[in-house]
Structure 1
Amino acid sequence: MGFFSAIFGTTDNTQLVEAIKEGAFLVDVRTPGEFASGSVKGAVNIPLDRIASQLAQFKNKKNVVVFCRSGNRSGQAQSILQHHGISNVIDGGTVGNVKECVG
């Protein structure tokens, strides 16, 4: 989710919804404390600062959705993963946005 789409509400979640329906690997990149306060059903917690050391968990996944509190860390996580050759990563933005898409 880009900065302007977040502000102006022009986010198209079609790709995100489809990926979730197809069983995407949902990754909450917030801290363990934030994750413990509630997340998306079925999501795993891999904090942003551990993404690069946990690359094996992302291998062979059809789709990966990363998300956080504001959308900033998820964008960083997407960049890190793509830098390491994992191209099937969707920035889900906020935990609330992903929750809405999970239904």
Structure 2
Amino acid sequence: MAHSFRELEERMSDESRVRVKKRARAMMREMLLSELRKSAGVTQEELASSLGIKQPTLSRMESQSDMHISTLRRLIESLGGELEIIAHLPEGDVRLSQFHDAE
């Protein structure tokens, strides 16, 4: 018999539950743009339409390893998110505010 994740989670020890949630958060930290879009339940056609571009253009954008910050911001905001750029330095993390409203 199949069980829902919620049922399995209820049977886990507190320690296991914390470990699973920590691993899930770590996995969420590393996602390709296409995976982020899919996890939001949005198709390429839907996202392209909301951005005012064609689907093949979005497909190319999702596979790029380098793009303008403003382009990435528009993409993330179209998915209902907010882009933050954080520099991880030995002295601590710093949020780069000059890119907050980049256009």
- TM-score interval, smaller chain: under 0.3
Larger radius of gyration: 2
TM-score between both structures, scaled by the size of structure 2:
0.24
Higher relative CO (Cα under 8 Å, sequence separation at least 6) belongs to 1
